[in-house]
Amino acid sequence: MDKVLGIDIGGTSIKAGMFSTEGQLEAAAKIPTGEIVSEADFALVTEGLKKLLEDNGATVADVVGVGLDVPGPVDDEGKVGMLANIELDPDGLQAALKRTFSRANLAFVNDANAAALGELWQGTAKDASSFVLVAIGTGVGGGVVTDGKIVSGAFGAGGEIGHITVNREETASCGCGRQGCLEQYASASGIVRVYKQECKARGVEPVKLDGPTDTLSIFNACRAGDEAAQAAISTMCDYLGYALAQISVIMDPQMYLIGGGVAGGFKLFAEELRAAFRKYCLAPSVSTRILPASLGNDAAMYGSAFQAMQG
């Protein structure tokens, strides 16, 4: 029975899923890795994948596709660009996987694009031909799908939604080196930053935060009536709604999907975000749906597997 592997590469581990070619996730495993740059590192990955298969009644000969997502640009030819937050030799890993899974088609895809493909294959966007997934976590990523295909761009930078300029007056620098990017206000770290600024402006102490990306505590504070938390979430909605409106005048998608860790608070801010989008969008796009993504943290695994099956 043919199997496909979808691999979500992180900084300290990879999450691998074994899928049927129809899109059913049959088994998953977490493989601790750290950097993936040497033959020993590659062997750790391939042996972990072989164990996943063997533990679930499959062999390497059953694998017809291996898809991997990475946190960086990947162009239309599958070439990986800069990888800012991970130590990975993509060419070396690809060679090791090809030796192990000689029957399989191999594919690399950007992590946000992979999440979008996962939603297209088996998630909220299953019946959509055009949509944009906004992955809101530590940063803000995006996956743009039109006519059922990912738009990665000539240089792999398509869908870098987090770096749309939304505030030309900002003086603080984004991680990309520019100022006023959406990521500075709508990411988990951006929401925390704005919340602390709002607390300072009001002369109040912020609620206890479990680290620089703890939006859960801010969402809970908002529900409890914390005005600084409400202001930070409103800032996020306003800038995100503005950015989505700019995307709509270019590609006019059927829907936007909100994914990533911040999507856990979607019900709290959904109506405010939709109102902000309607405020800024061109009239023909006013009916565009804004919905939560449905596959959660597994979306990139699904999308990586899907990409591997595209040949």
Per the listing, tokens 């030799």 go with 89
With a cut of 70, say whether residue 168 has pLDDT above it.
Answer: yes
* pLDDT in the model for residue 310: 86
pLDDT of 72 over the 80 cut: no
Are 160 and 273 contained in the same domain? Answer: yes
Residues 110 and 231 occupy one common structural domain: no
Co-location of 81 and 221 in the same domain: no
Q: Look over the chain and give the mean of its residue pLDDT values, rounded to a whole number.
A: 92
Judge if 113 and 133 occupy the same domain. no
Same domain, 175 and 234: yes
pLDDT at position 84 over 70: no
CA–CA dist 172, 169 (Å, integer):
9
**Do 90 and 222 fall within a single domain?**
no
Reported as a pLDDT band with limits 50, 70 and 90, residue 80 is: low
Q: Do residues 131 and 270 share a domain? A: yes
Helix, strand, coil percentages (3-state) for the chain, rounded to 5, are 45, 20, 35
21 DSSP 8-state letter:
T
pLDDT value for 150: 87
The runs of H, that is alpha helices, within 101-226 are: 111-122, 183-186, 188-202, 215-223
Q: List the CATH number of the domain containing 235.
A: 3.30.420.40
The three-state secondary structure class of 283 is helix
Do 74 and 184 have their domain in common?
no
For residue 246, name the pLDDT band (cuts at 50, 70, 90).
very high
Neighbours of 171 (CB within 10 A): 7
Query: Of 88 and 252, which is predicted with more confidence?
Result: 252
Mean pLDDT calculated for residue range 187-204: 97
96 and 160 together in one domain: no
Range of the domain at 259: 124-294
Which helix (H) or strand (E) segment holds residue 31: the answer is: strand 25-32
The pLDDT of 85-100, averaged and rounded, is 86
| Cβ pair 100, 46 in contact under 8 A | yes
Q: How many domains does the chain have?
A: 2
d(CA 207, CA 225): 12
Q: What is the pLDDT of residue 87?
A: 79
**Is the pLDDT assigned to residue 75 strictly greater than 70?**
no
Least confident of 45-54, 80-89, 236-245, 261-270: 80-89
- For residue range 2-30, list pLDDT tens digits in order: 999 999 987 778 899 999 999 999 999 99
> Which residue reads 């009536």 in tokens?
225
Residues 111, 173 within the same domain: no
pLDDT of residue 86: 66
Band the pLDDT of 79: cuts 50, 70, 90.
low
**Crossing angle for the helix pair 227-251 and 188-202, to the nearest 10 degrees:** 140
pLDDT bin (cut points 50, 70, 90) of residue 85 is low
Q: Are 149 and 75 members of one domain? A: no
Q: What is the pLDDT of residue 162?
A: 93
Tell me: do 94 and 155 sit in the same domain.
no
Which of 90-94, 165-169, 211-215, 235-239 has the lowest average pLDDT? 90-94
**What's the pLDDT at 297?**
84
